[in-house]
Structure 1
Amino acid sequence: MERIDGHTLLIGLMAYPIRHSMSPTMHNNAFAKLGLNYAYLAFEIDNDKLEKAVDAIRTLDMRGSNVSMPNKQKIIPYLDKLDPAAKMAGAVNTVVNDNGVLTGYTTDGTGFMKSLADEGLDIRGKKMTLAGAGGAGTPIAIQAALDGVKEISIFNLDDAQWEQAEKNVEIINRETDCKATLHHLEDKEDFKKEIASSYIYCDATGVGMKPLENMTLVEDPSWFHKDMIVFDTVYAPRETKLMKVAKEAGVDHVLNGLGMMLEQGAEAFKLWTGEDMPVDYIRELLFSEDN
């Protein structure tokens, strides 16, 4: 507590629900480790409170904020600028306040790719099946394509995110060498076929997280094969229903979203402070904790 004084700068996290988040633990321990005078707090903010919450960043002279579901796309009209990756993805997970000018960034895609690299996994030149085209799925798809993934089959419900999924496919096919296709998540046979021919399956939806922690989009272990990666962007609970199904199938590499959360957090940390997060220290702290 001796770090907190009259000069402490506040950084927030705006999402709903968000009390499960590991981000306050991650950032506050990183600030303490480096002796930086910042404090990071989580605020349960839904779409209906978002505009006033963004105004508060300016009013309180906060250094910035993280943004998570369901606000990653809804926040864009309230910001002053977007960095190129956020503009391409149409999603923001990090806001930086420079003297009242709010710039939106997305670090989810780089966090996803770095978390795979941390595990010694390389998906460049490979095929990915991705469920979800929202605030996490969109930057994951675009960054994976930019980094050299050969083919991405994107699955989404025919809902409000379908238009975003169409945009993602169009951008990827126009701006990268990756081949992207869009599929209806309601078509289970197609979903099963695409997963079977993929090196990695990534679930970037909220299925598996509270209040949907007992659900998974893939319930049959036979859909998976041993020599693949199954990646769930959810990290609370630490082992999701999807991960249990993948492990039952004997999949070699089954990952939750904790590593992605760490690496996207490190990118945001650098944007706010100009310092490198002590990633090894934070990884040991987060991965050793029981969920």
Structure 2
Amino acid sequence: MKQLYGVIGNPIGHSLSPLMHNDAFSALGIDAHYHAFRIEEEKLADAVSGFQAIEISGFNVTIPHKVAIMNYLDDIDELAKQIGAVNTVVNEGGRLVGYNTDGIGYVRSLQAISKDPLSKKRILLLGAGGACRAIYFSLASVGVTEIDIANRTVSRAAALIEACEHTIRSRALTPEAAAGMQQEYDIIINTTAVGMYPKTEDTPLVIQKLKKDAIVSDIIYNPLQTKLLKDAQRAGAVTQNGIDMFVYQGAMAFELWTKKWPDVERMKQLVIQKLGG
């Protein structure tokens, strides 16, 4: 019998996850199908009950359900608990178990382009929202010990740092202070929506002078190259856009469901082609 997987959210018609996962199932010879389900917030409990009734094998969770879904699961992975959000659910023998592959998927994508272990890097995160929290906690979970957070509301960055259980040397900074210190960082990561289409001339950080061999990463993938990345590339940095985060979080969800690691480069090229890149 064909296994069923999916993604729930609202809106959901724009999702590239079905394209990515169905191709991976086909490439690995897995008899399964992945479908996008538009679920309104007040129907979330009904949707989860329906999924249990039809014995869905697993599903992804996107906006606006990543926090609320935690109320309807049988168990939640420790990292997902710390982050406070779930984006992947696995049916483990009838029990729905929640994970968060957003942050740790991003960490894997970052490690793929870094010459050295991330634990040796000094990192600056721009923003203090949900994406920043997932990335901050996930970096901490793999042994990174120096992570600063710059945000317009500094108290928000400080609260995020305070919430982390790992021992990390972290500072909550203003964007202006971070801009003046940018040469100190091995990796700079934009976790905000600043620079996203249609406001493509905006940037969360004015690039001045970067550390030699610095990495500048942006979780945005529309446009594929933000102003931040263009400026960083001109300054000699290695750059990374948000497609890698999207692909790796999906690959890690796929592995949790099937115990098989998909071809991430194939997934990435599919997404780029779909986006017209």
TM-score by length of 1: 0.80
After TM superposition, give the deviation of residue 104 of structure 1 in Å. Answer: 0.8
Question: Which stretch shows the higher mean deviation, 84-93 or 147-156?
Answer: 147-156
**Which blocks of at least 5 consecutive residues in structure 1 are unaligned?**
1-6
After superposition, the C-alpha distances for 1:85-126 in whole angstroms (9 at most, x for unaligned) are 111222211111235422110112221222122224433222
Q: Which residue of 1 aligns with 2:29?
A: 35
Distance 1:288 1:43, change over 3 A: same
For the residues of structure 2 that align with 1:260 and 1:129, how far apart are their CA atoms?
17
2:217 to 228, 231, 234: 231
Distance 1:280 1:191, change over 3 A: closer
> Is 2:112 the partner of 1:126?
no
Amino acid at match of 1:105: Y
Q: Which residue of 1 aligns with 2:188?
A: 201
Q: Which residue of 2 aligns with 1:275?
A: 260
After TM superposition, give the deviation of residue 284 of structure 1 in Å. Answer: 4.6
Percent identity of paired positions between Structure 1 and Structure 2: 38
Residues 74-113 of structure 1: pairs in structure 2 closer than 5 A? 74-113=68-107
What's the C-alpha RMSD, in Å, of the aligned pairs?
2.9
After TM superposition, give the deviation of residue 233 of structure 1 in Å. Answer: 1.1
TM-score by length of 2: 0.83
After TM superposition, give the deviation of residue 9 of structure 1 in Å. Answer: 2.7
For the residues of structure 2 that align with 1:60 and 1:179, how far apart are their CA atoms?
47
Task: Give the count of matched residue pairs.
Answer: 275
For the residues of structure 2 that align with 1:246 and 1:151, how far apart are their CA atoms?
21
**Which blocks of at least 5 consecutive residues in structure 2 are unaligned?**
none
2:166 to 172, 175, 182: 175
Distance 1:202 1:15, change over 3 A: farther
Amino acid at match of 2:5: I
For the residues of structure 2 that align with 1:179 and 1:87, how far apart are their CA atoms?
22
Distance 1:205 1:234, change over 3 A: same
For the residues of structure 1 that align with 2:9 and 2:201, how far apart are their CA atoms?
21
